[in-house]
Structure 1
Amino acid sequence: MIINPILQKDLKTKLRGWRSTILMCCYVTLLAGILFLYFGGSDMFNPVSLQSFNPRIAINAYNVLITFQFALLFIAVPAITAVSISSERERQTLDLMLVTSTPARTIILGKIMVSIAHTMLLLVASLPVIGIVFFFGGIGFLDIAKLLLFYLLTSFFVASCGVFFSTIFKRNITSIIITYIFLGLVTFGPFLCYIIFVLIKERMLGIGFNPVYRDFVKWLFPSPVFGYVSFYFGSYGGYGGYVFGISDIQRQIDMLLAAETGIWKYMHPWIVNGLFSIISSIALIFFSTLALNPVKRKL
């Protein structure tokens, strides 16, 4: 079995020490602490409480955990990948990698897979904590599988962005800042553009706007939050709590999606955003390879 040499080298050097083990233990302990505090704040540990069990508490606790994990993707992954190539350049080891028989594409893919492997390792290690919610019902194995698939696609996109800007810019701090700015624009920019579009159409032009599901997809498909909201409220809308703004948007998306016919009926937000992540990641890997290839740079 042929393994990417960059992935093999980084996994051997980074996972053989205690640093990764301690990080994993701290992460799982933090998640367990969050779950414990949430249940404690909901008065579930009080033996003399007269309050009956509410299944919403378990579902909301699950939502809190997966929200924390989703935020981890946008905090940890860019910090790892945005310095993957630029740090090699600063240590003057990039030229040594390029003169070997390893293609530039293999180097790029190796750096991306390293960050995805570390992220997925943390996510898989946290499954026992999330599995506590299974005792209360409402969450199935298929829900967890779809969520992990969405996390994998999102990590792939975020890591591709980090490696791309790390290839373009020579300094670590520059590539990190540009990566976070770009991801912020991709995440929140579509929502801002959609709000501006609706305001212009309704207030300035005086045209009534009755959106269909395709209108949401057309404007919001690049945002990972658009895909993630379908997990936070879509599958658990009957149990989860109400959050002003997001709940209204998700409820409207669910109603419009139910009214769709044909293939659009199956194009849930996380599927649409996942397709965008795959296509964008392939394009970013292609351009990163061109930028890293020393022959192409000379031409």
Structure 2
Amino acid sequence: MRTGIWNKSNPVIVSEMKIKMRGWRTALSITAYLGVLLLIGFLYYLAFVQNSMYYNNSINARQQAGMEIYTILAVLQFSLILLITPAQTAGTISSEREKQTLDLLLSTKMSSFGIILGKLFSAMSFILLLIVTSIPLFSLVFLFGGVTPGDMIKLFLFYIVTAFAVGSIGMFYSTLFKRTVTATVVTYLTIFFLGLVSVILGTYMVAIQMTGPSQPVNPSVPFVLYINPAVGIADIMARGSGGLLSMFGYGGATQSGVDFWILNSLVMIAIAVILLLVSVYKINPIRPVGGKRKEKGNR
């Protein structure tokens, strides 16, 4: 019987989690990660206290300070997720090739689908752990006001989707290249290239709409922006002022009436699923997706 990702115990997840969690590096990494977030937030808080006379310590001033601290922490954590996730996922399969253990893994009863998802979720478990442990730090923003629990839920859901999408890119390149260094570098370059090109093309297309002879009342968001998680996080941060399109002088909703960050998440999930399916095929082309491996003599 095949062992899949949804069984009670996926051997890949169990093994990888034991390796990751039994050492001191994980605890040290989490401490350093939270320390960076706490330091940045504390420095901004000190600046707020020193300028309290300027803010006049009013409720609106405290809410504004809370929003600014929240935005700084949100963008910083988003950047760290983009930085850490490729390093966690780009070597999942290529490292098995380098250690010459991939063939042994493929010879087990596990399906290709179970191996890929097991590797992905075991690598993402560290990212999810970082996200979860940062929740108490973000909750301190509630002391200032200006941020609701709903805003926090949207933000952390988007973090998870972003980590899943970026992790799938790293997984794809890990199956495509034999060396971990190559897979990691190409993953970072792909993320940087997609982010930069999508913003340039998207801004150009929006500028054409705005400078046209007849400006649309409800403009369409260029599809190229839907692949960029940075634009999605910008939309979440701009929710209080009308959303992404408000930055261009329009209303806050897309033509479909759905918030941009939601559509952005759906597009990224779809791309991630496609990359994972390709990764399943690449890891062992002679085995059908999710099926039993072929044996000699079978017709």
Q: TM-score interval w.r.t. the shorter chain?
A: 0.7 to 0.9
Which deviates more, 13-22 or 86-95? 13-22
Question: CA separation in 1, counterparts of 2:262 and 2:40?
Answer: 29
Question: CA separation in 1, counterparts of 2:250 and 2:203?
Answer: 19
Question: CA separation in 1, counterparts of 2:10 and 2:248?
Answer: 41
Q: 1:254 to 1:280 in 2, by over 3 A?
A: farther
Question: What residue in structure 2 maps to residue 75 of structure 1?
Answer: 83
Displacement of 1:252 after TM fit? 3.9
Q: Name the amino acid aligned to 1:290.
A: Y
Deviations 1:192-219 (A, max 9, x none): 112344567889xxx5362565521533
Question: What residue in structure 1 maps to residue 213 of structure 2?
Answer: 208
Question: CA separation in 2, counterparts of 1:213 and 1:82?
Answer: 40
- In structure 2, list runs of 5 or more residues that go unmatched: 1-6, 289-293, 295-299
1:276 to 259, 262, 267: 267
Question: What residue in structure 2 maps to residue 161 of structure 1?
Answer: 169
- Map of 1:1-299 to 2, 5 A cutoff? 2-42=8-48, 44=49, 49=53, 51-53=55-57, 54=61, 55-197=63-205, 207-208=212-213, 210-211=215-216, 213=218, 215-235=220-240, 237=241, 250-252=245-247, 255-258=250-253, 264-265=256-257, 267-295=258-286
- Under a length normalisation based on structure 1, what TM-score does the superposition of the two structures give? 0.84
Displacement of 1:191 after TM fit? 1.8
Question: CA separation in 1, counterparts of 2:175 and 2:97?
Answer: 9
Q: 1:213 to 1:100 in 2, by over 3 A?
A: farther
Report the 3-state secondary structure (helix = DSSP H, G, I; strand = E; otherwise coil) of the residue aligned with 1:256: coil
Q: Name the amino acid aligned to 2:165.
A: F
- Under a length normalisation based on structure 2, what TM-score does the superposition of the two structures give? 0.84
Question: CA separation in 1, counterparts of 2:64 and 2:54?
Answer: 17
Q: Name the amino acid aligned to 1:52.
A: N
CA contact (8 A) 1:85 1:94 kept: yes
Question: CA separation in 2, counterparts of 1:78 and 1:140?
Answer: 31
Question: CA separation in 2, counterparts of 1:200 and 1:142?
Answer: 34
Q: 1:110 to 1:212 in 2, by over 3 A?
A: farther
Deviations 1:21-45 (A, max 9, x none): 1111121122111111011122x15
- In structure 1, list runs of 5 or more residues that go unmatched: 239-246
Question: CA separation in 1, counterparts of 2:187 and 2:131?
Answer: 22
Higher share of residues assigned helix: 1
Question: What residue in structure 1 maps to residue 297 of structure 2?
Answer: none
Question: CA separation in 1, counterparts of 2:124 and 2:167?
Answer: 7
Displacement of 1:113 after TM fit? 0.7
Which deviates more, 159-168 or 126-135? 126-135
Q: Name the amino acid aligned to 2:227.
A: P
Runs of 4+ in structure 1 displaced over 6 angstroms? 199-203
Q: Name the amino acid aligned to 2:75.
A: T
Q: 1:145 to 1:202 in 2, by over 3 A?
A: closer
Report the 3-state secondary structure (helix = DSSP H, G, I; strand = E; otherwise coil) of the residue aligned with 1:129: helix
Q: 1:256 to 1:14 in 2, by over 3 A?
A: same
Report the 3-state secondary structure (helix = DSSP H, G, I; strand = E; otherwise coil) of the residue aligned with 1:131: helix
